[in-house]
Chains A and B, each alone.
Chain A
Amino acid sequence: MAVSEIIFVLAKGLLVTFQIALGAWVVAVLLGLLLCLARDMGSRPLRWLVNALIALFRSVPQLVLIYLFYFGSGAIGLHIPGIVAAIFALGITESAFHAEYYRGALMVVSPNQREAGKSLGLSGLKTFRLIVLPQAIPYALAPMLNSFISLAKLATLAAAVGSPEVLYSGQSLMQLTGQVTLVISLVIVIYIVFSVPLSRLVRRLEERIEVA
């Protein structure tokens, strides 16, 4: 098999990797925001529950959660595809970190801003949506982008439940062509080529936001 053909197969796998990372990222953003808001505004028992959930999500190994969703759903007759199991497992574990990012970003916005909203007669939710959130977003941006890069790496775990992402495609290629060293090296090089410049870019963005 020619190198160009191997790269073509890996590129198709990369597309699936991207889908998993993006899906998990969306789950993490939404769930993270929900957790953050519930912790900041909710009643005391709710806050306690959210803290427990965050500790839980931060502590469970992603692979175990993927197994639980994939094989567990199969056992109760609800056959979730590997990709979907990976998206939810990775998204849920990542959401705990997002909740922390959002809290950090919200803390940067001065409490005077909330008071200003209140004095204009805005409701709590409106103050949050129109005044606090827009000012907090820049501070959450860099960690959110970093989280996407980290999810793109974690997406390789989906190979364990047979999702045809880039590492799984690589494994099939190894069996097909026997060119083990070439294929796995290509996968590693692909990751380095993508994530080093992206991480650098995010770091520069981070520095600019800090200065501003």
Chain B
Amino acid sequence: MRLFAKITICSMLVLCIAVLFSGYLLITFSYENALDRETERALSKYQYDKFSVQAALISNQERLQEGIEANDRMLSVLSADLNGEVAFFSDDKELLFSSVPDKFPVVLSNGVSEKMIVNEFKQSAGKVYLMVSGKIKQDKLSLYLVSVTDITSVANQKEAMTKSFKNTYFITIGISMAFVLILSALLTRPINRLIKAATRMVEGQYRERLAIHSNDEIGELSVSFNLMASAVEDKISELSETARQKEDFVASFAHELKTPLTSVIGYADMLYQKNLPPDETKSAAWYILHEGLRLEALSLKLMDLIVLDRQDFVLEEMSANELLQNILDGLQPLLNEHRVAPHLTADIGYVKVEYDLFKTLLLNLIDNSVKAECTDIWILGQQTNGHYHITVTDNGRGIPPSELSRISEAFYMVDKSRSRKQHGVGLGLSLASKIAEIHGSSLKFHSEQEKRITSVEFELICVGGVAND
């Protein structure tokens, strides 16, 4: 069921109950009051009538008694002096006289006695009467007096009130229903807009946003919806980027795998099919070896990347300057081979690192510098604001500014032919970036090709302040 229908039904239910209950109370209260008023009036009337009859009995007792016994017009004359309609019954409860119209047969109420007046309502021929019955005893003569009051006006008044209430009720409910329908439609309109926006988002329109018109709950819901839509949009673009990267990775991987394998298969086939002279055989074998080494490097680096993604590493506290010196000492043969001069300047400080990973990180960065045909490498370690800042700078070929944003992607190579010749697979910087992430940092590349300056910066968590030694 639609929400507006629910609001309408609930409002109508409450309104109907409230109006009907109020009307019922009002009518019954008014009716009871009117009846009480009429009863008091009828009792007064009876009392006056009784006094009149009693006074007549006192002053003319003998004449009246004779008249009553002879059933002459005496009671008729007496009743003419009384208020309204009356009836007289004898001591044996037989009707002696009645001035009440024949349509209403007067009956003496039960329980009437000298000490008990009884009032009761009677309905006859569409009229309502209030009868007050009592007994009059004066010396030897006793009579029952019934005083009858027509209270049809009270019943009519109640009926008119009920009719008026009926009209008021249906008009009120009709108008209220229209108002409630309009109001509930207005109230649920923002929710309908929300539903439509959500539907459009389901259909892929992640840029869908709602206009905020109020500060109420619906306004808050719209704000939350917009926040959720932004989060979903960001997540979707992130997932799309990840998916694109994965696709690129798979494509690059397939390409990187195919290239050496094509050479390996080609040279192996050549060796198998033909009897080549020794120098050509050697050359073919060298190519197979070279491409095999590339495949090995590729598989090892892929393994490292997979391991980095799946393993939790424990960072240990180490002396930063000693660590850098130690790693640089290990790389000395490589640097000597390529005639690269290392320059280390490091503040004393303690950092939290995973030794093997950190060594791999620096090795990859220095290896890249070496491959860029640099002659000098400067490693600078500075402690600033609770961080240990490391910068690796070389004077190699440099990286074009347009390539800087992509160099840490897997299989991305700035100069593919040169890189392959140097057994490069395009995973070194990707691996280095991953290791920097594990250390809570990221690699920031900066390169000026004209000045032959390329630098990579990253930060490590510094602990314990400045070391004493």
Q: Answer whether A and B are interacting partners.
A: no
